[in-house]
Chain A
Amino acid sequence: MAVISYLDAISHALREEMRRDPTVFLMGEDIGVFGGAFKVTRGFIEEFGEERVIDTPISESGFTGAACGAAIMGFRPVVEFQFADFIACAFDQIVNFAAKCYYRWGIPVPVVFRGPSGGGFRGGPYHSQNPEAWFTHVAGLKVVQPSTPYEAKGLLKAAIRDNNPVIYLEHKHLYRRIREEVPDEDFEIPIGVADVKRDGTDLTIVTYGAMVHTCLGVAERLAAEGAEIEVVDLRSLAPLDKDTILASVSKTGKALVVHEAQLTSGIGGEVAAIIVESCWDALDAPVKRIGALDVPIPFSPTLEDAVLPSEGKIEATARELLEY
């Protein structure tokens, strides 16, 4: 087992899948000689050549549609968006075509759409967004967001092998910051299965992506005061792992849902609804949600810091629920 970064894990998963399966190929802007804006595909063009590591023109809609076309022919393309924000440029191809092709026609479209998402980088309104909820509302799409290198690798492999279109969101903040041991042998993390990152009995925090680490920090701090918080990492946002969420909340009786994406109409609303509908009797307190303020992400560091969910706010809300 080697210690690798979140970014390495994504890179390794892509490389191993390309070696294993000749139908896997990559498309995106600057992914060839340049190795990608964040260097996920560094060295790929040298190993796999221009036919499998395709530097596309800047036409997200065009190359996304082309990837879908190749998928109909039996390929498994992985499309990189330079920033997850620019998935919006390819919305029609993903939402109207990829998501519905199998239902309309019985032909699967096994494309993975990858993109660096998330704020905290002074990227402003177009290089900071968390677009997962744009897609979880679309039948036919799977949506995942790993929080650790182990998951980044296992989920990407599962996404590539999945017969459905999968949106795979990578949080920029985790790329180089999070490192851990990851098995060298082949493994997959099944899509649709959450992971309990920390056991606890007093409160469940349901979260995913970069916020997993923030919430674990809060749980550690409150543990020093005797509170036992359980942290559930969703990993897969569509489909959600209802069983794991309900098992945890049934045990703790209290739930807080945290995500970096903006609050309104986010994943948190769906998770809260599932909890309220299915384990009302177990609840000892109202279900709470924390997300970014419902404004575009501003560039100014002072403003951005106020928009994204802070550790302080998560801690305060967790305390409030613990004391309820």
Chain B
Amino acid sequence: MSETELIRVLGDDDTSPAPYHPSLDDESLLALYRRMVQTRLFDAEMIRLHRQGRVSIYSSSEGEEALAVAAAMTLSEEDWLFPDYRVSGALFERGVPMEEFLAQLFGTSKDLSKGRQIPTHYGSRQRHIASISSPVGNGIAHAVGFAWAARIKKGPEVVLTFFGDGATSEEGFHTGMNIAGVHKLPVVFVCRNNQYAISVPFNLQTGSDTIAVKAKAYGFDGVRVDGTDALAVHDVVREAVERARKGGGPTLVEGVSYRHGAHSTSDDDTRYRKAAEAEAWRKRDPIDRFGRYLKSRGLWDDARDAALRETLESRIQTAVAEAEAAPPPPLESLFDDVYDDLPWHLREQRQDLTDHLRGLKGRKP
């Protein structure tokens, strides 16, 4: 398998070639599809909430749902996910309820990160999901270190980390890949190559033809897969996870995709992308493609699709209403967790704040 060949399962008409037997049973195929649709609808709702001023920033995964969901689906419960800000589907696939993710997006008292992180920077120790830190690419090195520790402890964990094509220019990517290669660590690197890092196109990000080829220099395999083909993504990542679990070392998976929307709600992508290019990629929408495959197998139809969307929309609305109703985190919580103890200067600052608040209570606002 070369690092430049694009692995696909779905043919041009989105039915799989005859000899293909999916590794997923029918029920799992449907679960994968439902999750992708949930992700699409959820992301769209967040963009709407942003327009209404209710979510301050959001980065949609529209067009990349197959990558996030199908890759995360290959993990077992003991495994760990080191996500980035554009894989909401992977969070849902790991069992994160929408209410819990929404609490993070709204930064309420129910947010596991206590209102401290910007929207999408979710994390949960219980669900084996690392909390995202904003500097692009630095989570890649953390994933590698986590895998290293798993190796030392002889634990069963495989670590999967997501990042964009832009992140492959950062130190975290290169140093992380290098260490993983040297020690043959149980980590799977999944690059969402959506062709752009905000406005910067792939050819200004790297001089190499593919991302996958970069693995070669670090001594392990790179695989290039059609990121709009849920079945291909699942098969490729499943193999990589199995290899890691058996002690075969890391794999770099490059999922070739496109983000249908802007980089984030602060971006205007029409300044740097041609409408025709975006239009062409929309024709390869991962959800449409996978849906056509399921229909060709007689597993899905339009009526079920409409019903699914209706149910999901209403669940999303309920989750939003519930999450939004929670109050902001208490002010006193500000000083918790800066250190695991409270040094004198923070104790003083907390006292000042408490006195100040008490003083305010007596007065009219």
Contact = CB atoms under 8 A, between A and B. Distances in A.
Interface of A: 29-30, 32-35, 37, 55, 57-59, 61-62, 85-86, 88-89, 122-127, 264, 293-296, 298-303, 306-307, 313
Interface string B179-190: 000000000000
Contacts of B331: 302-303, 306
B35 to A, nearest CB: 27
A125 B334 contact: no
B272 A33 contact: yes
Contacts of A302: 115, 328-329, 331
A294 B338 contact: yes
A86 B133 CA distance: 12
B171 A55 contact: no
Interface in B79-129: 107-108, 114-119, 121
Interface string B259-271: 0000000100001
From DSSP, what is the main secondary structure of chain B's interface residues? loop
The 8 closest A-B pairs by CB, nearest first: A300-B115, A57-B169, A34-B199, A126-B134, A124-B118, A302-B328, A300-B107, A59-B169
Given A57-B204, A303-B333, 16 more contacts: A30-B199, A32-B200, A33-B272, A34-B200, A34-B271, A55-B204, A59-B169, A59-B171, A86-B135, A126-B133, A126-B134, A293-B353, A299-B117, A300-B107, A300-B115, A303-B116
A122 to B, nearest CB: 5
Interface of B: 56, 107-108, 114-119, 121, 133-137, 166-167, 169-171, 197-200, 204-206, 266, 271-272, 328-329, 331, 333-335, 338, 345-346, 349, 353, 356
Given A33-B271, A55-B204, A298 B115 contact: yes
A29 B198 contact: yes
Nearest to A128: B118
A306 B331 CA distance: 8
Contacts of B114: 298
Contacts of B119: 299
B205 A124 contact: no
A213 B135 CA distance: 30
Nearest to B357: A306
Contacts of B204: 55, 57
Contact of A300 (B116, B134, B205): B116
A37 B263 CA distance: 11
A62 B166 CA distance: 14
A295 B345 CA distance: 11
21 contacts: A30-B199, A34-B272, A55-B199, A57-B169, A58-B166, A58-B200, A124-B134, A126-B133, A299-B115, A299-B117, A299-B118, A299-B119, A301-B107, A302-B115, A302-B331, A303-B115, A303-B116, A303-B328, A303-B329, A306-B353, A307-B334
Given A58-B167, A294-B338, A299 B272 contact: no
Nearest to A264: B345
Nearest to B263: A30
Contact of A55 (B107, B137, B200, B346): B200
A307 B169 CA distance: 34
A118 to B, nearest CB: 15
B133 A29 contact: no
Given A32-B199, A86-B135, A306-B353, A58 B328 contact: no
Contact of A294 (B56, B116, B133, B349): B349
B116 A296 contact: yes
A62 B266 CA distance: 26
Contacts of B115: 298-300, 302-303
Contacts of A85: 134-135
A98 B198 CA distance: 29
Given A30-B199, A298-B334, A302-B331, A124 B117 contact: yes
B200 A124 contact: no
A152 to B, nearest CB: 22
B206 A127 contact: no
B37 to A, nearest CB: 29
Contacts of B166: 57-58
A307 to B, nearest CB: 7
A306 B334 contact: yes
A25 B135 CA distance: 25
A57 B133 contact: no
Contacts of A57: 166, 169, 197, 200, 204-206
B334 A303 contact: yes
A190 to B, nearest CB: 34
Contacts of B137: 58
Contact of A29 (B116, B200, B329, B338): B200
Contacts of B206: 57
Given A30-B200, A300-B107, A303-B116, A295 B56 contact: no
B346 A294 contact: yes
Contacts of A264: 345
A58 B197 contact: yes
A122 B56 contact: yes
A58 B206 CA distance: 10
A265 to B, nearest CB: 11
B328 A300 contact: yes
A92 to B, nearest CB: 10
